[in-house]
């Protein structure tokens, strides 16, 4: 089995980080072969392979992680292959229930690998927490007083996290805003912190809670909320894809036509928040599964991306498509990405630990670059499909097995029912029931014939 796996790797396809993530026909193999194939990318132990296949989190550990635990909940774990970003190869683990997500990412990664380039760059891992000060008699005076004490405040903040400071991170700056609110003016203090390889919410929250009474005294007011902002707009990732358009030909459209339709589809999202929401959902389809697989806080990331999408006062698509002078299709995106490779559950969840090793990311910045690039690729595939053959054909073909199982088919029978529906182009619950009934009758007859 392992010999078979080795033979399936194209050894010519090796990038800057030494190995190729190009696995032709990966989806065609059975699950165990895929795990064997991954050994060519990263040397998984037998135990690690067993854990990925069967159990990445024990009920005992789940009981430590949350209150009132009653068990461990499963979701499919897959890997997107073929990804080449910043001239490095990546295998990307994804935990997701939607059938088409991993296939879409692997396919678009293969396409751009052969016909374009994909780059991304993250800023420094800067987060900030907010301290809300109310009942401040003279907000302008309070602002000046707080800023005068900046150095002392930063020192106290950094005393809360010597590890972060030692690693070259820690509190960097204090900013003060005066905002109008339904309860009148408020003084809002931002504590700006370099969180290195942590997501940093706990780190910045601790600093905010420590500084809050000091700030309240300086402002002669009262502190209420002391909490991280999930609109982490100092921790951004910029992604760019460039692609020759000939390879976009599909469903009777030439590559040129497909590219122009992609741009018009993007213009729809630019003009209409109803479409922009679904456009951005397509981006998050590529990101959330990676965040779950790597133990990151996907709610925090979702909140950040959507707030960023609305930062001009109108909800907008976070990615943009255009064509450059040479006719190439250009996709660009800038989003906040507050991710960690240490802290939170990243360092305790056994599955996350294996999957982070498998990804071979060395810093939180690198993880953010990969996740954001996956988001842009996923979004590009969805818009390309929408703009050409429509989303349902491919999606429903992949979803057919779920529909077959929903209709009562199991094992081999589910595959037969799904294949028949995909062949007919009719992936529907009622049709699955009919096919299943027909196949079961035929199977019973065959059995009777054999018994006679």
User: Residues in the site for ligand NAD, rule: CB under 6 A?
Assistant: 161, 163-164, 167, 169, 195-203, 205, 228, 230, 297, 300, 340, 342-344
Active-site annotation holder among 48, 197, 288, 297:
297
Count the residues in the chain: 452
Report, in Å, the least distance between residue 65 CB and ligand NAD.
Answer: 10
98 catalytic? Reply is: yes
Active-site annotation holder among 98, 173, 242, 256:
98
Distance CA 37, CA 280 (A): 33
Which is nearer to ligand NAD, 36 or 161 (by Cβ)? 161
Which is nearer to ligand NAD, 43 or 168 (by Cβ)? 168
Cβ-based burial of 8 (10 A; exposed 0-12, middle 13-18, buried ≥19): middle
Which is nearer to ligand NAD, 130 or 322 (by Cβ)? 130
Rounded (5°) CA angle 392-280-261: 60
Report, in Å, the least distance between residue 403 CB and ligand NAD.
Answer: 35
297 catalytic? Reply is: yes
Report, in Å, the least distance between residue 229 CB and ligand NAD.
Answer: 8
Which is nearer to ligand NAD, 161 or 288 (by Cβ)? 161
Which is nearer to ligand NAD, 291 or 418 (by Cβ)? 291
Active-site annotation holder among 226, 279, 395, 399:
395
Active-site annotation holder among 281, 320, 416, 433:
281
Report, in Å, the least distance between residue 310 CB and ligand NAD.
Answer: 18
Which is nearer to ligand NAD, 127 or 276 (by Cβ)? 127
Which is nearer to ligand NAD, 231 or 277 (by Cβ)? 231
438 catalytic? Reply is: no
Report, in Å, the least distance between residue 230 CB and ligand NAD.
Answer: 5
395 catalytic? Reply is: yes
Report, in Å, the least distance between residue 193 CB and ligand NAD.
Answer: 9
Report, in Å, the least distance between residue 363 CB and ligand NAD.
Answer: 8
Minimal CB distance residue for ligand NAD: 343
Catalytic residues: 98, 281, 297, 395
């Amino acid at each position: 089995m392992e010999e078979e796996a080795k033979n399936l790797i194209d050894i010519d396809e090796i990038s800057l980080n030494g190995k190729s993530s190009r696995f032709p026909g990966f989806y065609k193999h059975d699950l165990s072969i895929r795990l064997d194939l991954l050994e060519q990318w990263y040397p998984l132990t037998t135990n690690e392979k067993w854990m990925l296949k069967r159990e990445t989190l024990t009920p005992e550990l789940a009981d430590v992680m949350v209150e009132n635990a009653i068990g461990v909940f499963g979701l499919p774990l897959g890997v997107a292959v073929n990804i080449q970003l910043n001239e490095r190869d990546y295998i990307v683990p994804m935990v997701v229930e939607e059938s088409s997500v991993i296939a879409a990412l692997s396919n678009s990664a293969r396409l751009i690998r052969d016909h374009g380039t994909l780059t991304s760059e993250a800023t420094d891992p800067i987060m900030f927490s907010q301290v809300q000060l109310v009942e401040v008699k003279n907000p302008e005076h309070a602002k000046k007083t707080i800023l005068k004490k900046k150095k002392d405040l930063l020192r106290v903040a950094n005393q809360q996290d010597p590890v972060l400071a030692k690693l070259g991170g820690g509190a960097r700056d204090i900013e003060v805003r005066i905002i109008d609110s339904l309860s009148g003016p408020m003084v809002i203090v931002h504590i700006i912190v370099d969180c290195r390889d942590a997501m940093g919410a706990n780190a910045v929250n601790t600093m905010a809670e420590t500084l809050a009474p000091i700030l309240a005294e300086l402002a002669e007011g009262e502190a209420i909320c002391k909490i991280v902002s999930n609109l982490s707009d100092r921790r951004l990732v910029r992604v760019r894809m460039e692609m020759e358009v000939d390879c976009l030909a599909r469903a009777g459209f030439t590559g040129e036509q497909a590219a122009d339709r992609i741009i018009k589809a993007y213009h729809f999202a630019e003009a209409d928040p109803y479409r922009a929401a679904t456009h951005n959902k397509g981006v998050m389809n590529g990101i959330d599964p990676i965040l779950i697989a790597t133990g990151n806080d996907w709610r925090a990331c979702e909140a950040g991306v959507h707030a960023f999408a609305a930062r001009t006062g109108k909800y907008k698509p976070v990615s943009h498509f255009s064509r450059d002078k040479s006719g190439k299709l250009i996709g660009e995106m800038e989003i906040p990405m507050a991710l960690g490779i240490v802290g939170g559950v990243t360092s305790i969840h056994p599955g996350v630990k294996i999957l982070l090793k498998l990804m071979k990311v060395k810093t939180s910045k690198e993880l953010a670059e990969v996740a954001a690039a996956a988001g842009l690729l996923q979004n590009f595939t969805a818009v390309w499909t929408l703009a050409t053959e429509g989303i349902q054909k491919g999606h429903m073909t992949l979803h057919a097995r779920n529909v077959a199982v929903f209709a009562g088919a199991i094992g081999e029978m589910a595959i037969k029912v799904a294949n028949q529906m995909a062949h007919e182009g009719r992936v529907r619950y009622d049709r699955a029931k009919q096919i299943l009934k027909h196949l079961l009758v035929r199977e019973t007859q065959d059995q009777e014939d054999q018994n006679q």
